[in-house]
Amino acid sequence: MGERFCFTCKNCHHEYSAHIGRGFGYGEVYRARIAAIEAGDYGPAWRELFRKTPGAVIDADYVIYICNTCKTWEVSTDVSLYAPNKPEDIPSKLDGKKTLNKAGAAQLVEYIKKRYLFENHHLVKRYYHRCNKCGKRMHKASRNEMVELSCPECGRSNQANEFWMWD
């Protein structure tokens, strides 16, 4: 399930939107982020922590990040790292998808349902996204920030004029 916030700039009339959450393509996004972690795209320390954490999983939802310095925003995936609360209880099957094993659960998991993730896992390391414009650390947008995003063309802050839920 995802959400879409639509905007029309009151200054320059540019139309823009932000899509967050997860949809039917979540499994593909999840596998791509795991492959990126394994390839070292998030740095060698992240890859090593992922490999050393038995049953490691990530959230991989699309979220809005806002730069604490320049206030630029962007949508990207969350690759915060989670571990099972009880590694010995990793299920042999998850939601009828591919079989898991205790050593390689993260490599085989098709997807992790949000409720299952937060009920049965704990945060190992939070992911902090970096701004593509100034390189500074960004934060996840609050609900109030999501409905008031700046125009990517002129920078004026605008209220969402449309809101959709999608899947």
CA distances from 121 to 86, 98, 130 (A): 8, 19, 25
Q: Is the entire prediction scored with pTM above 0.85?
A: no
Q: How far apart are CA 70 and CA 42, in angstroms?
A: 23
C-alpha distances (whole Å) from 73 to each of 5, 15, 167 are 13, 15, 23
Task: Provide the pLDDT for residue 41.
Answer: 96
CB < 8 Å & 24+ apart, contacts of 25-29 = 26/60, 26/111, 27/97, 27/110, 27/111, 29/60, 29/62, 29/77
Report the chain (167 residues): mean pLDDT per 10 consecutive residues. 92 96 83 93 96 89 94 94 82 48 44 72 94 96 95 95 81
> What's residue 91's pLDDT?
56
pLDDT at 99: 42
pLDDT at residue 160, rounded to an integer: 95
